[in-house]
Structure 1
Amino acid sequence: MTTVTSEPADRMSGWITLLLAFSCGLIVANIYYAQPLIGPISSDLGLPPQLAGLLVTMSQIGYGAGLLLVVPLGDLIENRKLVIITVIVGATALACAALATQPVTFLLSALLIGFGSVAVQILIPYAGHMAPEAIRGRTIGNVSTGLMLGIMLARPVASFVAAHASWHVIYAASAVAMVILAVVLRVALPPREPAARLSYGRLLGSMVELYRNTPVLRRRALYQAALFGCFSVFWTTSPLLLAGPDFQMSQSGIALFALAGVAGAIMAPVSGRIADRGWTRPATIASMVLCAAGFALTLLVPLGTPWSLTTLVIAAIAIDCGAQLSLILGYRVLFVLGAGQRSRLNGLYMTTFFVAGAAGSGIGAFAYARGGWTLAAAFGTVLPLAALAYAFTDDT
């Protein structure tokens, strides 16, 4: 007989933490495969260059919608069941993307890929529920390491596959992987039944009051919105720059560049330990400085030179580390506010900054098309600086 869990256990088994981390990475990768492939995908589908950013933006919009409409259900519906349903939705959308031959088909599939990928944001609060208070930040950081690795590795994997086969292949393979993962999670994860007994309408309605009455939620969400917007601008426009006349890189070369971002994954477990020690404010300031300095550095060296490529690698690491540090600090701050509202808090937090990420991808690609790297990088630098200015208004 399977035990239904509603309260955290005394400890969380290491292999379950590893499974959650692996699952988060595999699922979240689905919304990032398009970033390094916006050139070949838009070319194959006949999408104009000015609209190429939509290939990334649509999945982020879908992700944002799922955060708002699906993730809060983690406070209402048995968590394992909810995760499996969402993963299957993503698998179906990935299969449709693999078969797409028209822009509209791919864009609608991307929307649903993002929607199905919110399973990761059900799994992270699930990890928070299962972990004891003393190591909650560390556990969330460890699980988020998988999330970050998925984000970072998605780009080089997609580039390598596209270089040696086709962009269709990565979507088909991921569809199969999602079906297998759904089966594994069904067998391996213990159920968790939430205590809330609200209707869906009341659950969504309660989020308005939660957002209005939780100042720390609004603040952390806006911090992360600026940093994730910066992150999205960088990883949407840097493949366009590297493939352009200044660097003339192939998809394999862009894939090797994207591997630099994997270094940002080391920040997740470090961030969790920093959060558990109470160093949230100075670490938050540091995350904003990292992102702003990373982008600004790329404007100091002429494009196309070896030093320019070096600054881009440094920027990739700095921006990834800064965004990840802020993300984990926000999780830790919000997840101590109460188990009964954890999924709703997470949904509101993530929705806010993923909307910013979607806007960052779209505006960044448009800025690059209009003003090249200089305009895109200037936009990316301003976002964390705005967050820094806002952070200095916090007198708590």
Structure 2
Amino acid sequence: MTNRDATQAEAASAGGASTRDLSPATVLLFAVACGLSVANIYFAQPLLDTMARDLEIAPAVIGIVVTLTQIGYAFGLVLIVPLGDLVDRRRLIVGQTLLSALALVVVGTASNAVVLLAGMVLVGLLAVVIQVLVAFAATLATPAARGRTIGTVTSGVVSGILLARFAAGALADIGGWRLVYLTSAALTLVLSALLARALPRHQPQPMAGASYAKLLRSTAELFVQEPILRERATFALLIFASFSVFWSSVVLPLAAPPFSLSHATIGMLGIAGLAGALATRNSGRLADRGWAQRTTGLSLFLMLAGWAPIACLHSSLWLVLAGVVMIDFAVQAIHVTNQSLIVAARPDAASRLVGGYMVFYSIGSGAGAISSTMAYATAGWIGVCMLGAAISATALLFWIVVVSKTPARAGCVQTY
């Protein structure tokens, strides 16, 4: 059997179409779809103060908007993403995208806090289409290019997260926070049509005695069977908690005197973090070459160091920008490395692995959001920075004590 035959055989065994289905144009569409879908989760962060005033939600608890979105996202990861290993991923992706547009309309037309919060839960629940897309791309890619492909698709996620804040701020300055969600609903409808036309059909190989209940049980069993999934899920919880601590609270001091910045100006902080998009492709390549542990350790150190300049917010916004670049670069490098390693461990269970891993991402993001606004109400910006640095230090300590000493495993070549 030739190397090409072996590659295509692996793709088939993972329940995918031939690797020829994953053209550069399709990868680009994956990235765009991921970017818009993840933006729907993060639009709220620069708008929290406006939402609080409009719907009479106390500023100290407005972080609940982000937290409930992440709770919805966590449920979607558990209940929806594993279906990618059981049903046609094309139909699953298009269906989720259509329903996402409807959920965005609910948020954009919410007349009270209860409707808003319910709509945000639905937005989070359906945004897990991102992980179905990532798993789809990972199974269609050749093993030698898997990390690079995940990095390219995830660069769309990074861009969506960061540009969401700028786009949300700019649109809110023009027509209020509701315009943000109604505009996204229209774009999501257009995206669903493009996905329906361009994505290849993908019917996974049938599982023995396959059923939805068995699929969900097998997702939980993967945490027992795959130590690397447990390790990388722990990193996801910690790094995205730290990430969310910053982005969920930075609008509060910047929108207040003496800064009194507009939403569009605050959203421009996200542009500084676009350096993280560069990290996604490069860290994917490093994972393909077996340098995952080095990438993880250096990125964790960079993330911790980034909180020092961020703490200088009242002295210099330029230092804050430098800290944003450091943290976003580090978080996304670790995130891509994590996904590359866990999919390499079990390509046949890509959707379940990614879904299970991302549950911890969601828990971390939600916990970081609500704890950061509480920390700000209690101890101001310094309290927020101490919280973020403590979480980052915990992640680095976990890598030093546990993960850096773990031997390489089959299916996941790691260079130390």
Q: Same fold (TM over 0.5)?
A: yes
Are the structure 2 counterparts of residues 11 and 199 from structure 1 closer, same or farther at C-alpha, using a change threshold of 3 Å?
closer
Structure 2 Cα separation of the partners of residues 7 and 326 of structure 1: 28
| Partner in structure 1 of residue 218 of structure 2 | 206
2:42 to 32, 44, 55: 32
Aligned partners of 1:350 and 1:246: how far apart in 2? 38
Decide which of 60, 65, 69 is 1:59's aligned counterpart. 69
Contact 2:255 2:261 in 1 (8 A): yes
1:218 and 2:226 are equivalent in the alignment:
no
1:235 maps to 247
Are 1:350 and 2:350 matched, yes or no?
no
2:395 to 363, 387, 390: 387
Residues 167 and 264, structure 2, Cα contact 8 Å, conserved in 1:
no
- Whether the 8 Å contact between 1:8 and 1:132 is mirrored in structure 2 is no
Taking the aligned partners of 2:245 and 2:314, their CA distance within structure 1 comes to 20
TM superposition shift of 1:315: 1.1
Which residues in structure 2 correspond to 1:66-215 (within 5 Å)? 66-197=76-207, 198-215=210-227
SS in 2 for 1:195: coil
> Are 1:11 and 1:131, in contact at CA under 8 Å, matched by a contact in 2?
no
Q: In 2, Cα distance between the equivalents of 1:298 and 1:146? A: 25
Task: Confirm or deny: 8 A CA contact 1:88 1:116 kept in the other structure.
Answer: no
Deviation at 1:10, TM superposition (A): 5.0
Q: Which sections of structure 2, spanning at least 5 residues, go unmatched?
A: 1-11, 408-416
Q: Give, in angstroms, the shift of residue 7 of structure 1.
A: 4.4
Deviation beyond 3 Å, 4+ runs, structure 1? none
Q: Normalization by structure 1: what TM-score?
A: 0.95
1:8 to partner: Cα distance:
4.3
Give the aligned residue type for 2:281.
Answer: P
The C-alpha deviation readout for 1:14-55, integer Å capped at 9, x for no partner, is 111111111110111100100000000111011111111011
Query: Is residue 2:32 matched to residue 1:22?
Result: yes
State the distance in 2 between where 1:339 and 1:259 align: 34
Q: How far has the Cα of 1:237 moved from its partner?
A: 0.9
Deviations 1:180-206 (A, max 9, x none): 111111111111111133100011111
Structure 1 residue 341 displacement after superposition = 1.0
Of 291, 294, 304, the match for 1:292:
304
The answer to whether the 8 A contact 2:17-2:201 is kept is no
Considering only aligned residues, what root-mean-square deviation do their CA atoms show, in Å?
A: 1.4
| Structure 1 stretches lacking a partner, 5+ long | none
Q: Distance in 2 between matches of 1:314 and 1:344?
A: 36
Aligned to 2:342: 334
Aligned residue pairs, count: 389
Q: Kindly, what percent of the aligned residue pairs are identical?
A: 37
